[in-house]
Amino acid sequence: MTAIDLEAERTYDDEKFSAVEAFRSDRMKVVCGYFEPGQFIPVHAPSSDVVIDVRSGTGLVRDGDEERRVEPGDVVTVEADTDRGVKADDDSRLEALLVTAPPPTDAEHEPVRRGLRTDEFDPTDP
């Protein structure tokens, strides 16, 4: 069994969202995501499904061409190979538990790294 104390693991970073890995196997990855206002996981489309459980704060989740407003208690799923991203509102911290299956590859996270370097939520936009 793997157990994590979300209160004890809570970590915010002034520069970019913080992801604390709670569990990882060949089949699944679980992270606690902590976002200061306006921070985000840039849009990318890995070959994995994701479940996003919003614990506190408000923001949006991109699912393909749609953006869904989220708040505590919302659970959003995005299917594999679909553009996705998570962004905290400009006036709210956001905390979410993200479960991906299977875990994305390092190569699939290149748009995330590029978006963080360039401060772009959607680095796939031409």
Q: Which residues is 84 bridged to in the sheet?
A: 44, 63
Residue 71 confidence (pLDDT) above 70: yes
Give pTM, 2 decimals.
0.91
Q: How far is CA 78 from CA 12, 50, 88, 105, in A?
A: 25, 5, 17, 17
CA distance 37 to 59: 9
| Per-residue pLDDT, 9 | 79
Two tokens, residue 61? 């989740």
| 46 neighbors 106 (Cβ within 8 angstroms) | no
| Per-residue pLDDT, 6 | 74
Q: For 37-65, how does the pLDDT look when each residue is reduced to its tens digit (9 = 90+)?
A: 999 999 999 999 999 999 999 999 999 99
Q: Which domains can be identified in the chain, with CATH numbers? A: 18-117 (2.60.120.10)
